[in-house]
Structure 1
Amino acid sequence: MTEAQHPAPPNAQNTQNKERQFKGLSLSERKQLRREKLIEAGLHAYGTHGFFAVTVKDICTEAKLTERYFYESFKKSEDLFQTIFLQLIDALQHNVMQAIMQASTNPQKMIEAGLTALLTTLKDNPQMARIIYIDAMLVQELHNQATIQESMARFDRMIQAFVMLMMPNLQHSERELSLIASGLNGYVTQIAIRWVMSGFKQSMDEVLSACSVVFISLLEHFSEAEPESSKKA
């Protein structure tokens, strides 16, 4: 028998597909599926009971996985919580931006659309609301890694872009607008925290009005202060 006729050893077979298949899924696909189950379980557990009342064992029980598989994807519970938090922030910001861009070009309509999207998303997703506006503020790990600061900065930038879109002829520096955006973000955030912690007791209309007033006041202030040449243009 020539060398070419020798059968390949067992460990050399299927070299083009190195990962074993199980129920049609590769090893990496199964790992990703387990990770997604843990994230889903964490969202439900943290959003229902709060971060500090939930253990790794609780998450694994919810996900129907052993703790071994938790540590396959996450080093500790804070890492899972941070992953969930960032996903929720992305979803929330996407909803707000989409609503603003689909609204009329009238600044007041844009303000109403963006804030309505924010508040509606929170009220329709109480687990999301709790994680973002209650527990995330208390989990020290997120502050140590500047996760909270960065997420707030993302909303600052979104609000700054929104203000510049509403009033492109503003005679203010970007540094000043950045500070104004931070103030607007902090104002809305504090109202949102209070609303979420109360269990959404106040009506949507009341909360929307409270959030809108500072944006409308700013809009009116800038309109009054705008140079006559800009208004004529």
Structure 2
Amino acid sequence: MATETGAERTWGGTTLSDRRAARREKLMTAGLDLLGSERPSAVAVRAVCRHAHLTERYFYESFADRDALVVAVFERVAAEAKERLQEATRAFEPGEPQARAAVESTVGLMLDDPRKGRVLLLAPLTERVLASRGLELARMLALMIREQLSDEVSDQDRELIAVGLLGALTSLFSAYLQGALTAGREEFVAHCVRLLLTVDRLHE
């Protein structure tokens, strides 16, 4: 039954804005499922709508095209990764507790929900529209790593170490997500922590 609530019409107790937001969320979930699947399906408008059980009319209510959805999914996961990493490490000074907090936060995001890991690490390699955003995320993460390194070395050394360390961690996480590593979760975490803690030796 339709009623009027202020300036916005309601139907069945929900407003038009609420229903649009709910439909958009279904499309975002469908996009994450498809883009982050173990065997990625084509993230086409029809496939997304079929997965979300919505018509194309509702897709274009929220997104201009499939690329807009792909970007929105990636940016949401990237923002979550950044927020979780900052929150996990905020209370610690550089050292073992901070390194473990950073690794466990990233593992929690990428491995507990492998869809998100694949969106962050693998989708930028296959989705042209994400190429530049993948590079932006990498630069941001490298900067976060660089800020935790000793300031007793030159800025150039810190930059080189941060970029190299990020490359190593990215390769490790990508291989783990694809099942190419046999290490258990705790062994994987411990290895990444050791990598973070031994990085300062690179400039001795």
Say whether the fold is shared (TM-score over 0.5): yes
Q: CA deviation at 1:34?
A: 1.5
How many pairs are equivalent? 200
Q: Which residue does the alignment assign to 2:192?
A: 211
Task: Determine if contact 1:134/1:197 at 8 Å carries over to the other structure.
Answer: no
Q: Which residue does the alignment assign to 1:132?
A: 120
Structure with bigger strand share is 2
1:151 aligns with 2:132: no
CA RMSD, 1 decimal? 2.5
Write the mapping of 1:1-233 to structure 2, written as runs, cut at 5 A: 17=7, 19-48=8-37, 50-103=39-92, 105=93, 107-143=95-131, 146-163=132-149, 167=150, 170-198=151-179, 201-220=182-201, 225=204
Amino acid in structure 2 at the alignment position of 1:193: S
Structure 1: tracts of 5 or more residues without a match: 1-13, 226-233
Task: Determine if contact 2:161/2:202 at 8 Å carries over to the other structure.
Answer: no
Task: Flag the 1:175–1:74 CA change in 2: closer, same or farther, 3 A.
Answer: farther
Deviation beyond 6 Å, 4+ runs, structure 1: none
Structure 2: tracts of 5 or more residues without a match: none
Amino acid in structure 2 at the alignment position of 1:188: L
Amino acid in structure 1 at the alignment position of 2:34: A
Secondary structure, aligned partner of 1:48: coil
Task: Flag the 1:92–1:201 CA change in 2: closer, same or farther, 3 A.
Answer: farther
Q: Percent identity?
A: 25
Task: Flag the 1:28–1:67 CA change in 2: closer, same or farther, 3 A.
Answer: same
Distance in 1 (CA, whole Å) between partners of 2:87 and 2:180 is: 26
Q: Which has the larger radius of gyration?
A: 1
Secondary structure, aligned partner of 2:36: helix
Task: Determine if contact 1:74/1:80 at 8 Å carries over to the other structure.
Answer: yes
